[in-house]
Amino acid sequence: MNQTWPISTVADAARARITTARVAAAHGVPPLERTRLGAALSARLRRCLTKGGTWQFVLTVARGSLRIDVSPSPVSPADGARPWCVTAPCPEPAAGPVPDAVAGDPTALSEALLGADEDTALVLERLAEQEELVAFHREELHQTNQGVLALHAELDAAGRAQREAFAAERAARREAEDARRRLTFLADASATLTASLNHEEIARLLPELLVPEYARTADVWLFDDAEDERAPSGPRPAAAVIAARTGRPQYAAAHPGGLPGVDDQPPSALHPGRSLLCVPLPTRGAPLGVVTLTPPCERWNPDDAVMLVELTRRAGGALDNARRFEHNRDIAETLQRALLTDLPTTPGLRLAARYLPATYGLNIGGDWYDAFRQPDGSLITVIGDVTGHGLHAAVMMSQLRTALRAYAVDGGSPGELLTRLHLFLHHLQPDLYATAVIARFHPGEPVLTWAAAGHPPPVLRGPDGRVRTLDAKPGAMLGIPLDQEIADHTVPLEPGSTLALYTDGLVERRAQGIDPGIERLAAALGACRAEELDADLDGSADRILDPMLSDSERDDDVCLLLCHIDGHAGSPADSPADSRPRPGS
């Protein structure tokens, strides 16, 4: 189908508009599309009429499509007008004959106008439905937006809460890490301070531990025992004096410190520009001193201050323990010097002794040695070991030594003396035991008489350097609930010979036993040269001890007594005894 007619008036344009609407309706173009097509055509025709002239209107229906072309008539390339074209799909062919151009009578135009209004009403109805749908979706979108806003608000609140939780967690973690760091420092510093038993070393270590992490400066003021402990020996901050008098920590600064358990004081006149923390060094009684600290930064951290007060308290305990230990050590050393024997000087016979206690610091133990003369001129040398360490063992050792000297006044051989000591110890201390070995050098006799009770065997070096162990059967330990008579043993004694008496602490080790130690002692004694033994017996004792004590496994007292017969002497003790005592080593 193809229709063409000219348009030069409004009536021509109206007929073209009505014809287009009818053809579109006949070919099943939807009302919305017909209205859109008619509105576009009306607008175009109005422009054409405005320009004037005659326009050619062409309506073509072919292949399921409706096409309208509007162009000037006749077409002139010079006028610059461009053809206008619009198309619309035709879903179905025309159901009946398609009308031609509309007649120009008013009735037909009115019907056409009413038909156009029906399409417009239908479009408006559809538009109203769409507006209702849009309004519904707008309300739905509004509700959705409100929900989204509420969700965003909840998410924002949750985010803030999460950030606050993370911040609190980080703060708690930092606080826990700081607390762990303080506790670790407190434990390590306490271990360092309590490991020393020298109060001067503790006073030196305390500032080294605190500076610079916890204090810029640290001054330790220890009270002089010889003076009043409340009177400072030099200019001291007033806060330090108050801390010494009250026993409470003091803080001196221009502003309150707010430190737990610390009293605030005005700024120090000696250091007006510094903040001072003065903490006493407490003990069971009065403070031993005061530690004055300046902060590492502008102000003290309260937790650091609490840790510093605790560390100072522990330092005070360590200082108190060190001073008590030093006092007891002085007493023990005085007692030990009183208990150790001054070795007698005998022509032809040299003696040298060494004693090393096992008790750390308190130089006193249960090992002992002695050398004295009997009324017949014989020289008795003895070495023994009381079970245990410390003052109790030393007291029993002193009683045994006194009893032995008392028994020796009545004479008697080494075996007889040990037998009497056994009975004495058994009745005096049934739960205490001892071992001992006694060697007697008799004037005019080149024979050594000896006896042992549960003690390691003596070692004898001959003048030719050969060493033998005197391992004849000894008696049992002294003090055990057993009746026994300890036998004497004799061995030839040549000039230049050296007898070594010792305790088990010198030769016994837990991992090896006692026999390897006795072999090492025999080797060390055999390695000594004869001229060294004649000229320097004390130095020889040291040279014997050095390889024996080179390990770190010793946990018992050590006692060594060397008896050396001069190489040029006929026999020991031929000359009267020189009563001048020579200090033991």
Tally of helices (H runs) and strands (E runs) in the chain: 12, 21
Does the model's pTM come out above 0.75? no
pLDDT of the residue at 566:
86
pLDDT of the residue at 226:
41
User: Mind listing the domains of the chain with CATH numbers?
Assistant: 2-104 (3.30.565.10), 199-334 (3.30.450.40), 341-582 (3.60.40.10)
Digits of tens for pLDDT over the chain (585 positions)? 788 889 988 888 888 888 888 888 888 888 888 888 888 888 888 998 888 889 999 988 887 888 899 988 876 554 556 789 988 888 777 655 555 555 556 666 666 666 666 777 777 777 888 888 888 888 888 888 898 999 999 999 999 999 999 999 999 999 899 889 989 999 999 999 998 888 899 999 999 999 988 899 999 999 864 444 444 456 889 999 999 999 999 999 988 888 998 999 998 888 888 889 999 998 887 888 999 999 988 788 899 899 999 999 999 999 999 888 888 777 776 776 676 778 888 888 999 999 887 655 555 667 889 999 998 889 999 999 988 766 777 778 888 889 999 999 988 899 999 999 999 988 887 778 899 999 999 877 889 999 999 999 999 999 999 999 998 888 999 999 889 999 999 999 999 999 999 998 898 887 778 899 999 999 999 999 988 898 899 999 999 998 888 765 566 778 899 999 987 654 454 444 333 333 333
d(CA 256, CA 243): 17
d(CA 563, CA 536): 12
pLDDT of the residue at 328:
79
Burial 303-316, CB ≥16 within 10 A → b, else e: ebbbbbbebbbbbb
pLDDT of the residue at 255:
87
pLDDT of the residue at 576:
40
- Start-to-end Cα distance in the chain: 146
Cα angle vertex 79, ends 75, 85, to 5°?
A: 55
d(CA 357, CA 341): 15
- Nearest CA-CA partner of 537 in 343, 320, 276, 384: 343
pLDDT of the residue at 103:
52
Cα angle vertex 333, ends 328, 339, to 5°?
A: 125
Structure token pair of residue 309: 């007060």
